[in-house]
Amino acid sequence: MGDYLLGEAIGKGAHGQVYRAIDQRDGTVVAIKEIPLRGLDAAALRAITVETDLLSSLSHPNVVAYLGTVETKSYRYIVLELAENGSLAGIVKPTRFGPCPEPLAAVYAAQMLDGLAYLHAQGVVHRDVKPSNILVDGAGHCLLADLGLAATRASMRLCG
- Give the residue from 127, 111, 115 showing the smallest Cα distance to 63: 115
Name beta bridge partners: 27: none
Polymer length of the chain: 160
C-alpha distance across the termini of the chain, in Å: 41
Q: HEC profile for 26-85?
A: CCCEEEEEEEECCCCCHHHHHHHHHHHHHHHCCCCCCECCEEEEEECCCEEEEEEECCCC
User: What amino acid positions are annotated as catalytic residues?
Assistant: 128
DSSP-derived 3-state class of residue 155:
helix
Count CB atoms within 10 A of the CB of residue 135. Answer: 26
Q: Which amino acid is at 11?
A: G
The DSSP output letter for 2 is T
